[in-house]
């Protein structure tokens, strides 16, 4: 333990104290306020746990989380395996497509599926037109629709985690199993999968927490009895009923506590099973297999199936973006560029804001995230677990809670919320864990002896980091950087509470135009624009980054 | 060295002059100012800003700087004016219905002024006040708490537009209606209050329970309702500000206003603040607002204009774009041609029990929506069976009495499990009386 790492830790702690501890403690304080008397107490919590309705929403949320996790895992394992291990054409395109849902604000996907699968959406209208059905089929309103939409949205996290795991496993482990005579399936379940546990859990935790955070998808689908939606309604729409607001905050705090406990459980598991391979430095592509023709065509069919589901989002939004008056018709009949004209001429600032805020947040994120990952995994600085714990809090806390707490904390005393810099700061704080998780699990897989060797040879800590650790970490770090920017770009739950006129980002523009109900075409056009921008961004990075990025996504050479 | 200093000096002088020049210029031709505060939608403030600036430039040959503050809904705007304590940072209170302006008047925060042309605004309409007798406030953009429907979808479903509150309970509309929660929307809250005051509390809650069983779902707010109706996902939307139908039409959606037979008027009004720093410009604005020109900008701002001499068809010919949409949405040529039956709305009562009503709705209807529906559907099933048994000349007296009890448990007490039980007993009595 050097003095350098202690002062580094102190600096990072200062940032955390200011951006996380202070606002969140204000949120918790609020939850103990009693509306009726104006005093303090645990009355709100007692009510929460004695009220059958809140308990029901709580159990609903837990149930939904489980369903979403099971669904993403079942669909994600084969997908990640195909992407990481099989040699096939169009790997980059498939990978990009499967990652697409996370570049979109969750609700843009919901809108697309409502237009397509809704009660009088394209599919139902076509079915009724050709006379297959009399009444519209309920495809998405209900738990099944919620699981479908949330699972598709979160699938990339499982796939990213697992395929990084599949790629990073030292091939010699599997080869050893093969030599010992383990068959394909046995090897997969006894060697490959267990070795991927750390990277799987990194993604799985995010997936499991999602239903505790996503307030908008249930609301749009008319399924309100889930904790985050109930909190949102209670906090946002309390009018004069202050008690309702406090109950909303209590719901937020309760769900956060659940999430943190589950998260700690997962982390304890990862730490218990530290998997590291010595030869990590020598292979960057991992193990690539040439499967049999049957397996390969099966793999293609499977990937195309998922890709079509994902592609529906940009296609449907695109149709809506280039048309108006799309009502009760399977496909639009009135085509126009009016929506884009309105966006580009009347509100180009939205696009600029999105890039500016996410970019600044990303710079903050890297400057903060790499040292934190280093401290947590490689040093024995006291309080490093606490540092990780606190940063993870930001994952567990729903965006609305962060938005509200920032508004409370940075309005009067420290009037940060009156300047636009609050937007990138909030994005940074909210999305930090996405970068950190990836850097963290990459660090776990990097054997310390490589760094020790460098230090023994006389290189300083900083030089070792840049010459040895960083290049080896690059996969994880690049995944983290891409993820972070993407997540900051589509953030809405926090931003929607903090933005002022002129600070709107693209997701807020989509939300406002959709929710105000009258400019549905503009909302679709904005969402479409967002997909295009992000997709171009991904392609540019993958061209510049070449093999590195492909490797980062778990893809082999074509 | 000397040369450098000289260059620097020249540079400094020039740049200072350049910086100060616009200020000096501004002093010569200082733009007049006016400030608005109020809860109106962004489209209206934008439209009025454009219109008034053009008018001012044309009439006075000067620019006018307009500041518009919208700190929140009307109670928040009211607080803002109170906080200014007689030295307001604005001149005009723009928007909000009679309740807000009555409070402003009572607290002495506004002063009387009779804008030119405001005699074209009726003093009252079917018993609801449209402007203040003492000229403290005048309505410039009236609207009605209303419902709306998607004409294209209803036609395709071969359903007639429901005419009355009771029509909405017709089983043919089941699953085709949407509204939001009273605590998510002031308009929804007012709709419940209207029902309570129009039909009596017991009858209103009975009605709300039955209506809840007709819903496809709850929406997240009144604009979400508009959106669902506009896109046809649910063809009938309850509890809407009347302008929403017109606004949706503007965007190309086949939506129409569905005026219920009992409702209230919201006379979106304007008033001059006491101690207004730019009183003169404020008065010019008020005069302009009620002129033909000003009223057109109100309509273009997606609110209905208040003057009685307006006809949408005439304005349509004059190139007012929203006039077409207004006419199609309302189905009449002037706002005041609407056939309405307003209730006598007790605002004090409504304000007092605001939270209580919301909570009652939440606990008795929203939270038990699933139970409510299954209970009612069972009752309806058994009622059908009893009717069939009656036709088959069976003795149904006991079952009939029991099912009536189930109805009462459902409608009056809101005790859904007990109602289910009673319905099951009625069914048993039908088989073995």
Tokens coding A512: 């406002």
CA-nearest residue to B357 within chain A is A241
Asked if pLDDT for residue A84 goes beyond 90, the answer is no
pLDDT of B24: 43
Contact assignment for B254 to A327 by CB distance below 8 Å: yes
The dihedral through the CA atoms of A498, A504, A509, A512 has a sign that is positive
Mean of pLDDT values over A82-109 = 76
Q: For chain A, what is the mean pLDDT?
A: 80
**What pTM value is reported for the model?**
0.80
Interface test with B, best of A327, A512, A514, A524 (most B CBs within 10 A): A327
Mean of pLDDT values over B272-277 = 94
* pLDDT tens profile A112-135: 998 899 888 899 999 988 988 888
Q: Tokens 């009510």: give the residue.
A: A47
Q: Shortest CB distance from A518 goes to which of B232, B251, B359? A: B251
Chains A, B: CB contacts within 8 A come to 98
pLDDT of A277: 53
- Structure ipTM over 0.90, yes or no: no
CA-nearest residue to A229 within chain B is B220
Q: Where is B378: in which H helix or E strand?
A: helix B369-391
Considering only residues A48 and A201, tell me which one the structure prediction assigns the higher pLDDT.
Answer: A48
Phi, psi of B31, rounded to the nearest 5 degrees: -70, 145
**What percent of chain A clears pLDDT 70, i.e. is strictly above it?**
88
pLDDT of B77: 82
Helices (H), A322-421: 338-341, 349-378, 384-396, 399-409
The span from the CA of A460 to the CA of B240, in Å, is 68
Least confident of A337-351, A466-480, B114-128, B274-288: A466-480
Asked if pLDDT for residue A406 goes beyond 90, the answer is no
CB contacts, 8 Å: B183 with chain A: 233, 237-239, 241, 244
Residue A539's pLDDT band (cuts 50, 70, 90): low
Distance of CA B199 to the CA centre of its chain: 21
Least confident of A272-281, A526-535, B57-66: A272-281
Contact assignment for B183 to A239 by CB distance below 8 Å: yes
CB contacts, 8 Å: B186 with chain A: 239
CA-nearest residue to B250 within chain A is A518
Q: What is the DSSP letter of B307?
A: -
The span from the CA of A444 to the CA of A441, in Å, is 5
Contact assignment for B359 to A241 by CB distance below 8 Å: yes
Contact assignment for A518 to B367 by CB distance below 8 Å: no
Report the gap between the CA of A319 and the closest CA in chain B (Å): 14
Contact A162, A75 (CB under 8 A): no
Contact assignment for B250 to A518 by CB distance below 8 Å: yes
Considering only residues B266 and A392, tell me which one the structure prediction assigns the higher pLDDT.
Answer: B266
CA-nearest residue to B229 within chain A is A517
Tokens coding A245: 């607001």
Residue A541's pLDDT band (cuts 50, 70, 90): low
Report the gap between the CA of A113 and the closest CA in chain B (Å): 12
* Cα-trace Rg, chain A: 24
pLDDT of A281: 43
CB contacts, 8 Å: B250 with chain A: 518
Mean of pLDDT values over A331-336 = 88
CA-nearest residue to B178 within chain A is A222
pLDDT of A399: 77
Contact B256, B149 (CB under 8 A): yes
Phi, psi of B268, rounded to the nearest 5 degrees: -50, 115
Per-residue 3-state assignment (H helix, E strand, C coil) for A401-434: HHHHHHHHHCCCCCHHHHCCCHHHHHHHHHHHHH
Residue B26's pLDDT band (cuts 50, 70, 90): very low
Chain B interface residues (partner A, CB cutoff 8 A): 150, 152-153, 156, 181, 183-186, 216-221, 223-228, 230-234, 244, 247-248, 250-254, 354-355, 358-359, 367
pLDDT of A283: 47
In order of A190, A354, B149, B214, the CA distances from B233 in angstroms are: 49, 31, 11, 15
Q: Bridge-partner residues for B249, per DSSP? A: none
Neighbours of B369 (CB within 10 A): 17
**What percent of chain B clears pLDDT 70, i.e. is strictly above it?**
92
* pLDDT tens profile A228-243: 888 888 877 766 677 8
Considering only residues A286 and B360, tell me which one the structure prediction assigns the higher pLDDT.
Answer: B360
* pLDDT tens profile B379-389: 999 999 999 99
Contact assignment for B218 to A53 by CB distance below 8 Å: no
Q: Tokens 């069972």: give the residue.
A: B378
Q: For chain B, what is the mean pLDDT?
A: 88
Least confident of A179-193, A341-355, B265-279, B318-332: A179-193
């Amino acid at each position: 333990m050097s003095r350098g790492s202690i002062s580094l830790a102190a600096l990072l702690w200062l940032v955390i104290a200011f951006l996380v501890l202070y606002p969140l403690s204000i949120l918790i304080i609020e939850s103990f306020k009693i509306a009726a008397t104006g005093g303090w107490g645990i009355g709100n919590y007692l009510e929460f746990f004695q009220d059958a309705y809140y308990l029901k929403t709580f159990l609903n949320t837990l149930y939904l989380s489980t369903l979403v996790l099971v669904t993403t895992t079942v669909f994600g394992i084969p997908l990640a395996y195909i992407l990481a291990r099989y040699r096939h054409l169009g790997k980059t395109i498939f990978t990009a497509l499967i990652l697409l849902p996370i570049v979109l604000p969750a609700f843009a996907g919901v809108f697309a599926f409502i237009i397509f699968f809704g009660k009088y959406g394209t599919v139902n209208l076509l079915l009724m037109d050709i006379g297959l059905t009399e009444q519209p089929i309920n495809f998405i309103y209900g738990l099944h629709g919620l699981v479908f939409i949330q699972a598709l949205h979160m699938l990339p996290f499982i796939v990213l985690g697992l395929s990084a795991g599949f790629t990073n496993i030292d091939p010699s482990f599997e080869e050893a199993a093969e030599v010992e005579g383990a068959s394909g399936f046995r090897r997969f379940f006894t060697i490959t999968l267990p070795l991927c546990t750390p990277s799987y859990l990194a993604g799985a935790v995010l997936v499991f927490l999602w239903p505790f955070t996503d307030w908008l998808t249930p609301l749009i689908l008319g399924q309100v009895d889930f904790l985050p939606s109930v909190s949102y309604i209670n906090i946002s729409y309390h009018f004069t009923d202050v008690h309702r607001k406090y109950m909303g905050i209590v719901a937020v705090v309760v769900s956060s506590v659940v999430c943190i406990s589950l998260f700690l459980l997962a982390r304890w598991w990862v730490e218990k099973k530290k998997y590291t391979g010595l030869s990590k430095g020598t292979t960057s592509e991992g193990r690539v297999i040439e499967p049999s023709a049957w397996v390969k065509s099966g793999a293609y069919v499977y990937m195309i199936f998922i890709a079509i589901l994902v592609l529906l989002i940009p296609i449907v939004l695109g149709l809506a973006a280039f048309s108006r008056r799309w009502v009760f018709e399977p496909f639009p009949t009135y085509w126009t560029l009016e929506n884009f004209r309105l966006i580009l001429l009347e509100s180009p600032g939205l696009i600029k804001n999105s890039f500016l805020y996410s970019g600044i947040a990303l710079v903050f994120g890297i400057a903060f995230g790499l040292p934190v990952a280093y401290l947590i995994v490689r040093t024995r600085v006291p309080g490093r677990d606490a540092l990780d714990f606190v940063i993870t809090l930001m994952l567990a806390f729903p965006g609305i809670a962060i938005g509200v707490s920032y508004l409370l904390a940075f309005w009067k005393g420290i009037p940060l919320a009156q300047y636009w810099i609050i937007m990138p700061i909030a994005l940074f704080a909210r999305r930090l864990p996405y970068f950190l998780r990836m850097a963290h699990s990459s660090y776990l897989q990097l054997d310390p002896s490589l760094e020790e060797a460098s230090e023994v040879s006389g290189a300083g800590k900083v030089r070792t980091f840049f010459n040895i650790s960083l290049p080896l970490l690059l996969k994880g770090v690049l995944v983290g950087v891409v993820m972070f920017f993407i997540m900051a770009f589509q953030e809405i739950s926090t931003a929607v509470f903090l933005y002022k006129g002129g600070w709107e980002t693209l997701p807020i523009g989509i939300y406002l135009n959709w929710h105000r109900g009258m400019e549905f075409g503009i909302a679709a056009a904005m969402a479409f624009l967002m997909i295009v921008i992000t997709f171009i961004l991904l392609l540019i990075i993958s061209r510049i980054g070449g093999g590195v990025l492909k490797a980062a996504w778990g893809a082999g050479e074509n | 060295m000397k040369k450098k200093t000289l260059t620097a000096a020249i540079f400094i002088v020039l740049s200072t002059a350049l910086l100060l020049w616009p200020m000096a210029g501004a002093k010569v031709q200082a733009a007049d100012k006016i400030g608005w505060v109020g809860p109106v939608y962004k489209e209206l403030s934008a439209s009025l800003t454009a219109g008034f600036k053009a008018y001012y430039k044309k009439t006075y040959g000067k620019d006018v700087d307009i500041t518009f503050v919208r700190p929140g809904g009307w109670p928040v705007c009211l607080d803002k004016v109170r906080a200014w304590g007689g030295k307001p940072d604005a001149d005009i209170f723009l928007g909000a219905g009679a309740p807000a302006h009555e409070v402003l008047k009572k607290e002495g925060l506004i002063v009387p002024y009779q804008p030119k042309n405001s005699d074209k605004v009726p003093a009252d309409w079917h018993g609801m006040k449209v402007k203040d007798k003492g000229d403290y406030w005048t309505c410039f953009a009236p609207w009605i708490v209303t419902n709306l429907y998607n004409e294209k979808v209803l036609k395709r479903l071969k359903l007639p537009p429901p005419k009355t509150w009771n029509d909405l309970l017709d089983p043919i509309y089941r699953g085709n209606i949407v509204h939001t929660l009273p605590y998510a929307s002031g308009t929804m809250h007012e709709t419940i209050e209207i029902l309570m005051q129009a039909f009596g509390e017991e009858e209103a809650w009975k009605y709300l329970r039955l209506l809840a069983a007709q819903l496809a779902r709850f929406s997240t707010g009144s604009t979400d309702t508009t959106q669902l109706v506009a896109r046809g996902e649910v063809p009938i939307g309850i509890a809407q500000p009347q302008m929403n139908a017109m606004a949706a039409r503007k965007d190309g959606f086949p939506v129409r206003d569905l005026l219920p037979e009992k409702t209230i008027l919201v006379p979106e009004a304007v008033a001059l603040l006491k101690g207004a720093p730019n009183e003169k410009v404020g008065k010019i604005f008020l005069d302009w607002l009620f002129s033909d020109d000003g009223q057109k900008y109100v309509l273009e701002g997606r609110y209905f204009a208040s003057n009685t001499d307006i006809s949408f068809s005439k304005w349509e010919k004059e190139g007012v774009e929203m006039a077409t949409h207004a006419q199609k949405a309302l189905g009449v040529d002037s706002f005041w041609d609407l056939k309405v039956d307003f209730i006598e709305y007790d605002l004090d009562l409504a304000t007092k029990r605001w939270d209580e009503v919301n909570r009652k709705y939440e606990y008795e209807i929203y939270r038990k929506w699933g139970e409510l529906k299954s209970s009612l559907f069972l009752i309806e099933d058994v009622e059908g069976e009893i009717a069939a048994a009656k036709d088959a000349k069976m003795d149904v007296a006991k079952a009939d009495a029991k099912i009536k009890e189930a109805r009462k448990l459902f409608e009056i007490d809101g005790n859904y499990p007990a109602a289910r039980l009673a319905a099951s007993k009625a069914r048993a009595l039908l088989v073995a009386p």
